[in-house]
């Protein structure tokens, strides 16, 4: 990859590695996770629209492009996030991370089905090593989980969330192919995702209450600006430049980085299996990112 692509790759990996911790600052809030996510993407969309207006960038889309943008936003910023928060109520966060690593397979496969984009053997090898590495990192946490009806529902929700996120990525590829600027369709997609998330909260009977704690809003600003605007713009631009196989490896290295953040900030003791998992994930990354672009 070029130097610019490496920067676009590393920024979401590093920032999303820290957002796992930032989200914990919002737990136990009177603002439900659904509304927290809706407000997060709504504010991000508003900031992007203001940015586009200041720079006099194009805002209007055709009806057909709006349909693709809505599909991308509802999948990636709406359904996926709602299902993730629902799943985290019944399964360990380690299983959530493992489920999302499946995007390294799902997105290239869907891209192959939709656009005929070839998938190299190195993509499958690197992706397999990445998933295996993340599994090893979180295996001790997973082994202590008891299988129940809520567990099965939580795993099903996460599998759907990973699939829906991949569908959102494929829709973004279509928007890239149509020549829509990344910032333009990202603003609209986040607006659509926020609207669907808030609608879900209202229809499910959740009451909207705003948290009064300062650290909640500090975390909210961090999750909205670096954790949403900066990361997704880098992520989607990388998707446009390098394709789905390389870009989706962000979903592998972000949870791996979160483990390292836990070591630094929370005093997590590294085990042999965890170290082996990190090494395996990094090996998979080297194989995927050093191969030819599909």
Q: What is the pLDDT of residue 251?
A: 80
Q: What is the pLDDT of residue 127?
A: 81
Low-confidence stretches of the chain (pLDDT beneath 50): none
Q: Report how far residue 26's alpha carbon sits from residue 207's, in angstroms, rounded to the nearest whole number.
A: 16
Q: Report how far residue 110's alpha carbon sits from residue 163's, in angstroms, rounded to the nearest whole number.
A: 9
Q: What is the pLDDT of residue 148?
A: 72
Q: How many CB atoms lie within 10 A of CB 16?
A: 21
Q: What is the pLDDT of residue 293?
A: 54
CB contact set of 3 (below 8 Å; sequence gap of 6+): none
Q: For residue range 161-186, list pLDDT tens digits in order.
A: 889 999 999 999 999 899 899 999 99
Q: What is the pLDDT of residue 141?
A: 67
Residues written for the chain: 294
Q: What is the pLDDT of residue 267?
A: 64
Q: What is the pLDDT of residue 183?
A: 92
Q: Report how far residue 282's alpha carbon sits from residue 90's, in angstroms, rounded to the nearest whole number.
A: 29
CB contact set of 188 (below 8 Å; sequence gap of 6+): 45, 61, 66, 69, 70, 73
Q: What is the pLDDT of residue 108?
A: 83
Q: What is the pLDDT of residue 193?
A: 94
CA distances from 181 to 66, 75, 292 (A): 13, 19, 26
What is the pTM for the complete model shown?
A: 0.84
Structural contact between residues 246 and 288, judged by C-beta atoms closer than 8 angstroms: yes
Q: What is the pLDDT of residue 128?
A: 86
């Amino acid at each position: 990859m070029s130097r610019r692509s490496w920067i676009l790759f590393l920024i979401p990996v590093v920032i999303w590695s820290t957002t796992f911790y930032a989200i914990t600052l919002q737990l136990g809030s009177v603002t439900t996770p659904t509304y927290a996510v809706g407000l997060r993407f709504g504010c991000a969309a508003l900031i992007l629209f203001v940015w586009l207006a200041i720079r006099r960038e194009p805002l209007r889309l055709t009806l057909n492009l709006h349909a693709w943008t809505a599909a991308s936003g509802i999948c990636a910023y709406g359904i996926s996030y709602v299902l993730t928060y629902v799943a985290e109520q019944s399964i360990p966060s380690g299983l959530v991370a493992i489920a999302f690593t499946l995007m390294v397979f799902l997105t290239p496969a869907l891209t192959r089905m939709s656009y005929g984009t070839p998938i190299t053997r190195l993509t499958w090898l690197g992706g397999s090593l990445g998933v295996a590495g993340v599994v090893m990192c979180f295996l001790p946490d997973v082994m202590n989980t008891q299988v129940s009806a809520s567990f099965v529902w939580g795993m099903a929700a996460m599998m759907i969330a990973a699939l829906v996120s991949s569908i959102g990525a494929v829709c973004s590829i279509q928007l890239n192919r149509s020549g829509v600027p990344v910032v333009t369709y990202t603003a609209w997609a986040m607006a659509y995702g926020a609207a669907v998330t808030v609608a879900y909260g209202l229809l499910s009977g959740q009451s909207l209450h705003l948290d009064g704690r300062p650290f909640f809003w500090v975390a909210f600003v961090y999750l909205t600006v670096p954790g949403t605007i900066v990361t997704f713009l880098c992520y989607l631009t990388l998707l446009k430049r390098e394709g789905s196989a390389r870009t989706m490896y962000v979903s592998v290295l972000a949870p791996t980085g979160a483990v390292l953040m836990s070591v630094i900030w929370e005093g997590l003791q590294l085990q042999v299996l965890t170290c082996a998992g990190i090494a395996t994930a990094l090996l998979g990354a080297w194989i995927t990112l050093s191969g030819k672009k599909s």
